Structure 1
Amino acid sequence: MAQFPYVGIQNSQRKGIISAMMNPAEMNNLSRAVEVQFFAGNAAFGNNVLTFSETLEYSNDLWNKMMERADQPVNGNTDGSVIIPSFGMKTGKWSFGLISQVQSRATILNLNPELGRYVTENEVNFDLIRLAINNPNNQRANTATWFESGIVVGREIWNSPKSKLSVGTNFKLLFPTGYTNIGVGNLRGTLVVDQSEVSLTNAEGIINFSYNESVVDTRNFNIDYNNLSFGNLNGFGFDIGFNYQLKNNKGVWLNTGMAFRNIGKLTFGGGQNNQTFRMSIPEGESFRIDLLEPDLKAIERDFLESGYFSRESNQDGFVVGLPTVWAANADLKLTDKFFVSLYGQTFIQNKNNNLQIPAINLIALTPSAIFGKFEVYSSWGYYDITGFTGGLGFRYGGFFIGSQSVMTALINQSKKADIQIGLSWGFGKKTSGNF
């Protein structure tokens, strides 16, 4: 989803690289004159059907269990990001930084569970079933991986005893690795299940395949990680952020921010195949989908040979939209030790676009307490795929470890599991205008 957010620690009162990654204007609020992020990692898995404990229990039959349990379109995501050594510095009214990270994600969107159930359970014999399908959304399975290196520049607009306004931008150089998408959009028709035969009749729809032929094994849809490599510079993006603080004689008591992140495009060149087919199956005729092999090349051949599919486009190389989000936060100092933060983000692109990396919408409330160098925080939020989650995290100096879902996972209610961890070091004099 956009960079999967470090909710909780990014609202910490110790402002560092994580905060600047989420809003580049926060580079102006570094706790120390120089900040080095040695590493940070973030991984998450979630869906809208099974709890995390059920996911572990049915790991050997996960797909069928999701299709069996679902009573609404199935959505799911797996995200991972790693920040490699990065740094930031503040001098006078200016701040500068270099933030580099690897992004990888996989997403399922709007999958019709009845279609998925009958298509995948080919070894089971069903009585004659005729199922009407009318799904105007694009049912997508999508993966994307890239490396980015961003140059961050921030500037204080004004800084008075009562308030401070800052701006910042993160200009990113992008190095794409791979992009895979299977999309079925505007699907209308009748699914006929007769014993083990599954066919479509009186059907229309748009089908898209996008994949890197050297990375994706078209015979079984597996990814060949040996062929994954970060290629040449082939895309640009940027973030822009604003930060406003209110202060009193004890320092900052309210820190607010707004940012637009991941504005830009990734360009995938030769060897990256993108094909779109238009399906039109007349009433009284049918197309056997249970006979399709788990091989993209064979599926493309069967489509064309059937006469029910016309290929509308066949590109070698294409441009993919980054997962652009609008985000806002507010951090309030309640006492010298207790704080509360509110963070939210919303995806501002079209999730149905086959050449668009999707992102999540969320809102989270994070109370925290600081005791010297030690901080404990607990993030409670609502995510548009996994619903309500509650987490817990700890920071000591520049080291942190936490989760946005561990509390609800312990009571067997969470449909999400995640972990975030990192280590940084700040040195030089403390900067003004911090909590």
Structure 2
Amino acid sequence: MKKQYLIFCFISFLNMSAQDHFSGINLSNRVGLLNASVNPAELSNLSSKYEVNLFSASVNVANDKIGFSDIINGENIEDLLFKGNDPVNMRIDAEVYGPGFAMRWNKWAFGFSTKAAAKLNFIDIDPKLADAINSNNIVGSSTVSNNYNQRLNGTSWGEVGFSVSRNIFENEKHKFNAGATLKLLFPGSYTNLGVDKFAGTINNIGAEAYLNDSQANINIAYSGNFNDGFTDFNNYSESVFGKLNGVATDFGVNYQWKDKDSYKLNAGLAVRNIGGMTFEDDANSSTDYALNIQSTLANPNGLALSQFQDATNLQEVETILQNDGYLTKTESNQSFKINLPTVFSAYADIKVIPKLFVALYTQQKLGDDNKDNQITTQNVVSITPRFSLKNYEIYSSWADNEISGITGGFGFRVYGFYMGSSSVITALTSDSKQADFYIGYRLGLK
């Protein structure tokens, strides 16, 4: 099972490309629906009276072990992932915006948006335990003990958003706006394996790795297409929009220090993704277990880890542990609520000289990634210098990401078409641990 996860991540890193979607274009002074996705109060700053979003997509990968140069040089990916004692973290994240519309009307502005989202996350995976399961690569005996929750987590869902913004105050020099977005959530598929406070011993006996004297609290959950596994891309693309079963909200405020052309300063604060969605289906399962692996007459060496290498989904993992008698059920539900990744964001876009702007941005998560019911994200701080004309724009976004570290990229806009990456420069010139790409087209109508 682990080997399939690794192959999937490797392919994704090569072909997709981390958590700050549409970096650079989403703070453009050509204001549109992407700006409102960062802060709904930006709708009152729409550059056109009417805005139509036709299509936009962003795909991101970030990790803390594998650099771009490692892939180019043909290094063994599995060896790099499990090297050292630090936990393995990886985030694979995609957003696709469909048809959207926004308009200004007197002091009000309104917006409508559609979005599909998918995430696959590896959170604080212990490298010794993962290596033993994946390859039996254990010599002698190794003790594993940690006080955090290791998670493999996959989620897909759809959103329909309704936004409103109002200009609160405006004169020749200053402008204040406030806005909110209500998101209707359509849960698609979900899966989670959480292994909390794991402690145990891995022994190599006759070229086989065994786990013994082990305890942990385990959550195993699955819903929708992910019952059959969550490393197949088709399981995400075919199960994004389910039935309406959740709501979330965004709130934001915005300030502009105006000048003749546009502004000297555009700044904002927002809290986004407050809420969650409930997965309900007769085939769903979310079960908490107490894991206790000890030697028995039937299994004197403990649990043989090679049993998991052919498992394709969490139901098979669950069955193996149940059949060996190592799991004690503590709680089980067919309906379970999952929280969106709530974030606080702040930004300031500053005019340095005419046509040259510098945008500062930070995103800080408010949820706890170690909780089994939490969809994850990562903290980001970025700076984006941007040369901007009415119909043309070029920019370079540089960020410090919680998982992947320093990244730098490039993007451009020509009329309504835009394309970019916040990591292409560092991927080509240094050992970047992130890859991302976005593209889209929108129309502004007077």
One fold, TM greater than 0.5? yes
Match of 1:148 in 2: 159
Quote how far apart the aligned CAs of 1:316 are.
1.3
Question: Are positions 1:386 and 2:400 aligned together?
Answer: no
Quote how far apart the aligned CAs of 1:16 are.
0.6
Quote how far apart the aligned CAs of 1:301 are.
3.0
Match of 1:334 in 2: 352
Tell me if the contact between 2:257 and 2:263 (Cα under 8 Å) persists in the aligned partners.
yes
- Taking structure 1 as the reference length, what is the TM-score of the superposition? 0.91
In 1, Cα distance between equivalents of 2:252 and 2:161: 14
- The one of 113, 120, 134 equivalent to 1:120 is 134
Quote how far apart the aligned CAs of 1:277 are.
1.3
Distance change (3 Å), C-alpha of 1:67 and 1:51 = closer
Match of 1:294 in 2: 311
Q: Secondary structure at the match of 1:425?
A: strand
Match of 2:111 in 1: 97
Match of 2:367 in 1: 349
Quote how far apart the aligned CAs of 1:251 are.
4.3
Match of 1:44 in 2: 60
Question: Are positions 1:279 and 2:291 aligned together?
Answer: yes
In 1, Cα distance between equivalents of 2:228 and 2:240: 16
* Unmatched 5+ stretches in structure 2: 1-17
Match of 1:185 in 2: 196
In 2, Cα distance between equivalents of 1:425 and 1:224: 31
Distance change (3 Å), C-alpha of 1:16 and 1:3 = farther
Match of 1:111 in 2: 125
Quote how far apart the aligned CAs of 1:151 are.
0.4
Match of 1:406 in 2: 424
What is the alpha-carbon root mean square deviation over aligned residues?
2.2
Match of 1:5 in 2: 21
- The one of 97, 111, 119 equivalent to 1:83 is 97
Q: Secondary structure at the match of 1:32?
A: coil
In 2, Cα distance between equivalents of 1:48 and 1:183: 20
Quote how far apart the aligned CAs of 1:248 are.
3.9
Distance change (3 Å), C-alpha of 1:13 and 1:207 = same
- Taking structure 2 as the reference length, what is the TM-score of the superposition? 0.89
In 1, Cα distance between equivalents of 2:323 and 2:69: 44
Residue-by-residue CA offset, 1:183-228 (whole Å, 9 max, x unaligned): 111111222223422222222111121112654325x965663863
Quote how far apart the aligned CAs of 1:138 are.
0.9
Distance change (3 Å), C-alpha of 1:127 and 1:48 = closer
Structure with more of its chain in strand, by fraction: 1
The percent of aligned pairs where both chains have the same amino acid is 34
In 1, Cα distance between equivalents of 2:356 and 2:225: 52
Amino acid at match of 2:35: S
In 2, Cα distance between equivalents of 1:216 and 1:325: 29
Tell me if the contact between 1:127 and 1:194 (Cα under 8 Å) persists in the aligned partners.
no
Quote how far apart the aligned CAs of 1:388 are.
0.4
Match of 1:433 in 2: none
Amino acid at match of 2:185: L
Quote how far apart the aligned CAs of 1:18 are.
0.5
Tell me if the contact between 2:190 and 2:226 (Cα under 8 Å) persists in the aligned partners.
no
Tell me if the contact between 1:216 and 1:223 (Cα under 8 Å) persists in the aligned partners.
no
Decide which moves more: 45-54 or 351-360: 45-54
Quote how far apart the aligned CAs of 1:136 are.
1.1
Tell me if the contact between 2:85 and 2:126 (Cα under 8 Å) persists in the aligned partners.
no
Tell me if the contact between 1:215 and 1:223 (Cα under 8 Å) persists in the aligned partners.
no
Q: Secondary structure at the match of 1:353?
A: coil
Q: Secondary structure at the match of 2:273?
A: strand
- The one of 345, 361, 368 equivalent to 2:386 is 368
* Unmatched 5+ stretches in structure 1: 429-435
